[in-house]
Amino acid sequence: MIRALTTRRTDLAPFLLLLPAVAVMLFVVALPLLFSLWTSLTPYKLTKPASLYVFIGADNYLRLLSDPAFWVPFGRTVLFLTIALNLEFALGLGIALLINQITWGQRGLRTIMMFPMMFSPILVGFQFKFIFNDNIGILNNALQSLGITDQAIPWLVDGWLAMASILFAEMWMSTSVFAILLLAGLFAMPRDPVEAARVDGCNPWQVFRHITLPFLMPFAFIAMTIRSLDVARAYDIVKVMTGGGPAGRTELLWTLIARTGYENAQMGKANAMAYISTLLSIAFTVYFYRKLMAARRFMGGVQ
């Protein structure tokens, strides 16, 4: 009897320890997600409470699928994420390699590199709104006083320029995540394989391509996984910088959700969008998580 109890207890321990975590996630995330799934199947409007109980099946989804006002921001979001993550990775890799080369004052550089990471996305948005402002922004001010242009460049007013400005802000905020983690990877890298490759006659590019880069990939995927957990923070930036304007030309999925749900009170439709955006985030995360697992297996005993 005592025996059975003790064995059971050891078996239960991990579940008891995980219980609070699982409970909180179920209550605060999973349960609301169920609720929003239901809502997305109704024509619910905040202004018409009774509409929450009208089941319309997949109508909201079907309508979204045929609505360019949804598809365009959706496509823009995917494109934005793809470009941003790739550029951040490439830049972060460059920065990590650069800082890895520098011996004098490296610690200081590393600290400076962390600087943008501490900024709240809302602050990043505000900061670049302030800098890119066509009228009072320091950038236009500088360009004009240096005589590079006599016109105010409409950074946040022109659709393409605004998107590029947002991309810049996003990259400013997040490139460091890649740089820091890749740098940690470079520090953890054993010297032997590099030296062996050199002895085997590899030139620096070949060493990088065949030794350094594969070794860094797990670190890159950690960074990607971490980033994909909160890519949606770009919402804050866009919200402050352009609010989705001008004329919806910087509208991303997330700003569209907020507009539909809170400003237009169309909760049913907004929840359907939210579901799609959630699936998008999950797809990104799962993709990188699997890559991480594969890279880890590939590295096998090395790490």
Q: What are phi and psi of 48, to 5 degrees?
A: -125, 85
45, β-bridge pairs: 48
Q: For the chain, how big is the Rg over CA atoms in Å?
A: 24
Q: Which residue, 131 or 200, is less far from other proteins as judged by CB?
A: 131
CB-facing half-sphere around the CA of 47: CA atoms within 13 A: 7
> Which residues 80-109 are close enough to bind other proteins by CB under 8 A?
95, 98-99, 101-102, 109
Q: Which of 96, 211, 219, 241 binds other proteins (CB under 8 A)?
A: 219
What's the closest the beta carbon of residue 42 comes to other proteins, in angstroms? 12
Instruction: Give the span between the Cα atoms of 274 and 244, in whole angstroms.
Output: 17
Q: Which residue, 54 or 229, is less far from other proteins as judged by CB?
A: 229
Q: Which residue has the tokens 């352009």?
A: 242
Task: Establish if 22 lies at the interface with other proteins (CB under 8 A).
Answer: yes
Site size for other proteins, by CB under 8 A? 100
Cβ burial 139-157 (10 Å sphere, 16+ → b, else e)? bbeebeeeeeeeebbebbb
Quick one: which segment of 64-72, 158-166, 191-199, 253-261 binds other proteins (CB under 8 A)? 253-261
Instruction: Give the span between the Cα atoms of 151 and 302, in whole angstroms.
Output: 57
Please check whether residue 272 is in contact with residue 40, taking contact to mean a CB–CB distance below 8 angstroms: yes
Quick one: which segment of 64-72, 192-200, 203-211, 228-236 binds other proteins (CB under 8 A)? 228-236
As a 3-state breakdown, the chain gives helix, strand, coil percent values, each rounded to 5, of: 80, 0, 20
> Which residues 106-125 are close enough to bind other proteins by CB under 8 A?
109-123
Task: Establish if 50 lies at the interface with other proteins (CB under 8 A).
Answer: no
- Residues near 280 by Cβ (< 8 Å), separated by ≥ 6? 77, 78, 253
Q: Which of 89, 235, 241, 251 binds other proteins (CB under 8 A)?
A: 235
Task: Establish if 148 lies at the interface with other proteins (CB under 8 A).
Answer: no
Q: Which residue, 13 or 62, is less far from other proteins as judged by CB?
A: 13
Task: Establish if 298 lies at the interface with other proteins (CB under 8 A).
Answer: no
Q: Which of 54, 69, 138, 213 binds other proteins (CB under 8 A)?
A: 138
Quick one: which segment of 58-66, 67-75, 202-210, 254-262 binds other proteins (CB under 8 A)? 254-262
